Amino acid sequence: MSFIKSTCVITSCNFTPNNQSVQLQFSKYNFTIKTENDKQFIYDIIRRKYILLTPEEWVRQHIVHHILHDHKFPKALVSLEKQLFLNDMSKRTDIVLYNHAAKPVLIVECKAPEIKISQKTFEQIARYNLTLIVPYLWVTNGKTNYLCNIDHQNNTFNFLQQLPPVNEILSA
């Protein structure tokens, strides 16, 4: 049987597992963290359960809160770790945003803060987009963010300086 040793609310963005301080490029959010059997867990407001707190999960939770709180994206239209199949292989996206017609419109690929965003990362999210065919892609390690708009008809893309307004994403 597991026992919760402590529960705390973290409001600073520079908390990471194992007390390694990494400043992420987001606002400060309230997170509920618990320790169980010497492992830290963070409460995921989308999946409504505690998830093992890894550096990648720390970034994912910041993105979720950023999308919901700073951009006011509807919580019901956010999916985490969505399963998809590529060449008969099961894969999972980190975050997918949907429009009101349940069509995917944005994929977010999260990496741990110490992982450099590379060509391999872009190839990974591009493979996911072969299945989902979304107009927006976002790759992040929490410190570096790349957002782009995909024009599937003309096979082009444009990098964006910031996340478009919610109504623009929802109408894509």
Tell whether the model's pLDDT for residue 165 goes beyond 50.
yes
Contact indicator for 41, 100 with CB cutoff of 8 Å: no
Cα separation, 29 vs 69, whole angstroms: 9
Structure tokens at 44: 């995921």
Cα separation, 127 vs 150, whole angstroms: 14
Q: Residues 14-67: pLDDT tens digits?
A: 334 444 445 567 778 889 999 999 999 999 999 999 999 999 999 999 999 999
Classify residue 171 by its DSSP letter. Answer: T
What are the residue ranges spanned by the domains of the chain? Answer: 4-64, 75-170
What integer best gives the mean pLDDT of the chain? 86
User: Any idea which architecture 75-170 has in CATH?
Assistant: Alpha-Beta Complex (3.90)
In degrees rounded to 5, what are phi and psi of residue 131?
Answer: -90, -45
Q: For the whole model, what pTM was predicted?
A: 0.85
